[in-house]
Amino acid sequence: MDKFVGKRLDGRYEIKEIIGVGGMAVVYKAYDNQENRTVAVKILKEEFISNEEFVRRFKNE
C-alpha cells in the first residue's frame, strides 16, 4: 500500500487512491474537506525532494 493512501494532508485532503504515476510525481484522487469535492493531488516522488532543480520544475508544472 502507498504511504499516502488513507492519510489526510494539510488537514484538508483525504487521499483515496493513486490515479497516475509519472517520472517525477504521483497523482492521487483525494477529497477536499473544505470545498466538499473530489480533487487530484500531485506529490513529488521522495527521490527528487532534495534536488532543487526538480522541486523548481515541479512547482512550475
Does 52 fall in a domain? Answer: yes
What is the pLDDT, as a whole number, of residue 59? 87
Domains in the chain, number: 1
pLDDT, tens digit, 9 for 90 and up, residues 1-53: 799 999 999 999 999 999 999 988 999 999 999 999 999 999 999 998 898 98
User: Do the domain assignments include residue 24?
Assistant: yes
According to the model, what pLDDT value does residue 57 have? 87
24 within 8 A of 3, measured Cβ to Cβ: no
What are the residue ranges of helices labelled H in 1-61? 52-60
CATH code, domain carrying 43: 3.30.200.20
Please report whether residue 3 resides in a domain: no
The answer to whether the beta carbons of residues 44 and 25 sit under 8 Å apart is yes
Q: Whole domain around residue 44: which residue ranges?
A: 8-60
- 8 A C-beta contact, residue 26 and residue 43: yes
